[in-house]
Chains A and B, each alone.
Chain A
Amino acid sequence: MQYFKKTPVTDHKPNSRLAWVGQGFLLILAIIVIIILAQNLIRSPSLFAQNVIDGLKLGFVYAMIALGYTMVYGIVKLINFAHGDVFMVGAFVSYYAVTRFSLHTWAKQIFPGMPDWLVILIGSLTVILLSMVVCVLLAVTIERVAYKPLRDAPRIAALITAIGVSFFLEFFGALGFVFSPRFIPYKQPFETMSWYINNGIYPITPGSMPPDGSITFSNIFLIIVIASIFVQLLLQFLVRRTKIGIAMRATAFDKPTARLMGINVDQVISFTFAIGAAFAGLGGVLYAIAYPSIHTQMGILPGLKAFVAAVLGGIGSLPGALVGALIMGQAEALTMGYISTPMRDAIAFTILIVVLLVKPTGIFGEPEKEKA
């Protein structure tokens, strides 16, 4: 299921003795983790389920961001560190669309008789679409201005440029007349609702506590899960069944040959950046709705974790991005639940190190020939 990978040529085997130590260590670690989780599962199944649900919410957000990393890497072999900041811009665009222009209620102003739920639905979709469009324009501009001139330069040059673009977006955004460096309370285009599961599903009403052993979830959780799965399926379809998808795979496979076959490689690369950015924008809006406090550096950590997820799943692999992201979400939620909240980032990046040591190509990744 590799769309964006070169054919495997040789597997560069790590030193066999070291690999044995590494695998043994991992095995012990895995056993300890399983024992801890099993104990907690038995102690309080509902709390465990709650943590898993909260982890899914994080995981599906990371999946939306990780797609952008993995696609761009698949096509141009560039780790686009500015991707997390495109995510941030998506959140801010939706914030201004809602607070300055009340875009989430435009349908009400034009058709006053429209029912409220339809107004909110149309309005929220408009806000999300606007954010996605702005992110696409931003990403394509970044690609044209910063990455395209460096396409034939050594990979490290493009990587450093990506870091530069990332810092530029963060600190330019933090200027007083752009987004300001403050933490801004995010105004949601729709009200969040939540329910609890306890022998049936009931809505949570303000002022009353759900009974013991309940598992709670909110509408934003459902939206994130549905949107993320939809995006995955859409991308699968796009890559497999459409002309541009074939062009993308061809470009990923062999750029010069694809060009010889009449594929407009520049357009395909721009398109790849555009799709990644659209999903990042969507992720940014949904993340801001779920965690309604936005600031210009909000994209750094989710971006890095999505990157870890992409590496974990096998960078360049689309299903890998989803699986990696879900694992990251669970790792984080369970760390918060059963170890401690400040440990979550440490665990996330430990996973990166372990993956790079043990299986550098990730779960779905296949070994790749080193470029001479």
Chain B
Amino acid sequence: MRTFKFLSLVLVVSLLLSACGGGASKEVKIAILAPLSGPVPTFGVMTRDGALLAIEEWNAKGGVNGMKIVPIVEDSQCTPDPAANAANKVIDQDKVHYIIGEVCSKASIPISDIANGKKVVQISPTSTNPSVTVGTDGKVKDYIFRACFIDPFQGQVGAKFAMEKLGAKTAFIMLDQANDYVKGLAEFFEKSFTEAGGTIVGKETYTSTDTDFSAILAKIAEAKPDVVYLPDYYNIVNLATKQAKEKGITAPFIGGDGWDSSDLDLAAAAGGYFTNHYSPEDTRAEVQNFVKAFGAKYKDDSGNPKVPDALAALAYDATNLMLQAIKDAGADDPTKVKDALTKITFNGVSGKITYDASHNPVKSATILEVTKDGIKFNSVVNP
């Protein structure tokens, strides 16, 4: 028992020392909370790699405000409890003031409650759930931001793209009423499309277990809309676009990032467009430099440069946003950094970012085009 007490005392003292150790003013710690295990480990790896790349680039330029940046990576598993534990660990033990993460909304929400309570600035790169930045009481969490746009915003961009780039005047909406993601996108699409002078010629609902869309498609063939908005996941898109081709429907289908999957049936969905966060084929200098730097640092299993996906791009942007805000604030002070973030204008890989009152970024979206040979970059649409 004695030995145990002694050992635990040694342990506590050593932890305290390690936490206080290292020149406190000479370096700034940034925690990266990513799901390196759990259901989506590939998301976690991409997020971590994107964030580490940003930190490495800043350190190569001499750090931020003369301070060296020290990343602390923790596995938060895309699961609420491990995420909360990881957040407590980095804040209480490692004394970080800045958190990049998590990927999943359900993990980001518990982290955001802890971080906001302890006045630690958090930027989630990819969590789209509105309650990450806005509490259940409807009040914005002062210290919490995100780098991605929230889901319904894609509907707005989709409508704008349909009208401006495709010259659409009429649209038909297909939606799954039971799916909040689909419903959110469809609502915003409808709102933006009608506000800009377009007409919704029809709106039909289905359920997620449906495989036969013939009746809806027969109505579409009759209504002859300029575009069909179908903001669902790839499995529904595969079925609906395939049956639409059989019915000879030529109106292009437009969707959201739910289409973004290697399982998207390219032959069926060819001619369709969807909104997404980013495309590695975007020709802007920010994107091309990022893709080059990422490929130089990370290789895939066969030694080829890795192509960063949207997760890596958003993690890179989130980290850059944080460091830029620290630089703008001029000090390692979370309260000043969060104020700097609300006023920031930042040219990131995923577009030009400013923040609205709910700490959601106002930024451009990328439009991708589905062709028989693959998914191609089409254009960037500003809101």
A39 interface residue (CB < 8 Å to B)? no
Q: A184-B263, A207-B250, A209-B248 are in contact. Are A292 and B242 (CB under 8 A)?
A: yes
Of A204, A208, A293, A340, the residue contacting B238 (CB under 8 A) is A293
Whether B248 pairs with A204 at a CB distance below 8 angstroms is yes
- Tell me if B248 and A196 are in contact (CB < 8 A): yes
Q: Are the CB atoms of B215 and A216 closer together than 8 Å?
A: no
Residues of A28-74 contacting chain B, CB below 8 A: 44, 47, 50-51, 54, 57-58
CA of A267 to CA of B264 in the docked complex: distance in angstroms?
45
Chain B min CB distance to A242 (Å): 36
Whether A298 lies near B211 (C-beta < 8 A) is yes
Output the least CB separation between B143 and chain A (Å): 37
Q: A194-B247, A216-B246 are in contact. Are A336 and B214 (CB under 8 A)?
A: yes
Of the stretches B56-64, B120-128, B200-208, B302-310, the one at the interface is B200-208
Q: Is the CB of A291 within 8 A of B224?
A: no
Asked whether, in the complex, the Cβ of A216 is within 8 Å of the Cβ of B212, the reply is: no
User: B182: shortest Cβ distance to chain A, in Å?
Assistant: 13
Judge whether B234 is part of the interface by a CB distance below 8 angstroms.
yes
Contacts known (A51-B218, A298-B211, A336-B214); A341 close to B247, Cβ less than 8 A: no
B238:A209 contact, CB within 8 angstroms:
no
**From B251, which residue of chain A is reached at the shortest CB distance?**
A209
A194-B246 contact, Cβ under 8 Å, with A183-B263, A340-B204, A341-B204: yes
By beta carbon, the residue of chain A nearest B206 is A341
Interface flag for A26 (CB, 8 Å): no
Chain B CB within 8 A of A337 CB: yes
Shortest C-beta distance, B179 to chain A (Å), equals: 12
Establish whether residues B234 and A183, one from each chain, have CB atoms under 8 Å apart when the complex forms: yes
User: Mask for B240-262, Cβ within 8 A of A = 1, else 0?
Assistant: 00110111111000000000000
Question: In the complex, what residues of A have CB within 8 A of residue B219's CB?
Answer: 47, 337
Mark each residue of chain B from 256 to 275: 1 if its CB lies under 8 Å from any CB of chain A, else 0. 00000001110010000000
Residues in A197-222 with C-beta less than 8 Å from chain B = 204, 206-210, 212, 214, 216, 218
Contact check, A185 vs B246: say whether CB atoms are below 8 A apart.
no
Residue with the highest number of chain A CB atoms closer than 10 Å, among B218, B224, B235, B250: B218
Interface centre among B211, B243, B263 (most CB of A within 10 A): B211
Residues on the B chain within 8 Å of A192, using CB: 242, 246
Which of A44, A182, A185, A204 is the most central at the interface, judged by chain B CB atoms within 10 Å of its CB?
Answer: A185
CB of B246 within 8 A of CB of A218, answer yes
Q: Which residues of B contact A293 (CB under 8 A)?
A: 211, 235-236, 238-239, 265
A332 to chain B, nearest CB (A): 8
Chain A hits for B212, CB < 8 A: 54, 58, 291, 332, 336
Complex formed: what's the CA distance from A210 to B207 in Å? 28
Which residues of chain B have C-beta atoms less than 8 A from A333's C-beta? 214-215
Residues of B contacting A206 in the complex (Cβ-Cβ under 8 angstroms): 245
Q: Which residue of chain B lies nearest to A215 when distances are taken between CB atoms in the complex?
A: B218
A340-353 near B? 1/0 per residue, CB < 8 Å: 11101100000000
In angstroms, how far is the closest chain B Cβ from the Cβ of A296?
A: 13
B129 within 8 A of A: no
Q: Is there an interface contact between A50 and B246, defined as CB atoms closer than 8 Å? A: no
Closest A residue, CB atoms, query B178: A342
- CB-CB under 8 A from B204, the residues of chain A are 340-341
A47 touches B249 (CB 8 A): no
Q: Are A292 and B238 in contact (CB under 8 A)?
A: yes
Is residue A301 contacting chain B, with contact meaning CB distance below 8 A? yes
What residues on A are CB-neighbors of B209 within 8 Å? 301, 345
- B270's nearest neighbour on chain A, judged by CB, is A206
Residue of B at shortest CB range from A44? B222
Say yes or no: B248 contacts A182, CB within 8 Å: no
**Are B205 and A216 touching (Cβ within 8 A)?**
no
Given known contacts A51-B215, A54-B218, A340-B205, A292 and B248 CB-to-CB distance under 8 angstroms: no
Distance in angstroms between the alpha carbons of A344 and B204 in the assembled complex: 13
B12 shortest CB reach to chain A, Å? 43
Residue from the list A44, A214, A298, A342 in contact with B207, Cβ < 8 A: A342
Q: Distance (Å) between the CB of A45 and the closest chain B CB?
A: 12
Please measure, in the bound complex, the distance between the C-alpha atom of A218 and the C-alpha atom of B224, giving whole angstroms: 20
Report chain A residues within 8 Å CB of B206: 341-342
B308-329 to A contact mask, C-beta < 8 Å, 1/0: 0000000000000000000000
A333 to B216, CA, bound (A): 10
CA distance A218 to B247 in the complex (A): 8
* Whole-angstrom distance between the Cβ of A109 and the nearest chain B Cβ: 23
- Is B210 located at the chain interface by the 8 A CB criterion? yes
Give CA–CA (A59, B211) in the complex, Å: 14
Bound-state Cα–Cα, A214 to B247, Å: 10
> Do B239 and A292 touch across chains, with their CB atoms under 8 A apart?
yes
A182 contacts across to B, CB distance below 8 A: 263
B216: chain A residues at CB < 8 Å are 336, 341
A65, chain B: closest CB distance, angstroms: 14
> Is B239 a contact of A291 with CB atoms below 8 Å?
yes
Residue of B nearest to A288 (CB): B211
A209→B250 contact, CB < 8 A: yes
A-B contact pairs, 23 of them (CB 8 A): A54-B212, A54-B215, A57-B214, A183-B238, A184-B263, A185-B264, A194-B245, A208-B248, A209-B224, A209-B250, A214-B248, A216-B246, A216-B247, A216-B248, A218-B246, A292-B238, A292-B242, A293-B211, A293-B265, A340-B204, A341-B205, A341-B207, A341-B213
> A interface vs B, CB < 8 Å?
44, 47, 50-51, 54, 57-58, 182-185, 192, 194, 196, 204, 206-210, 212, 214, 216, 218, 291-293, 295, 298, 301, 332-333, 336-337, 340-342, 344-345
The 8 closest A-B pairs by CB, nearest first: A336-B215, A183-B235, A54-B214, A291-B211, A204-B248, A337-B215, A341-B206, A194-B246
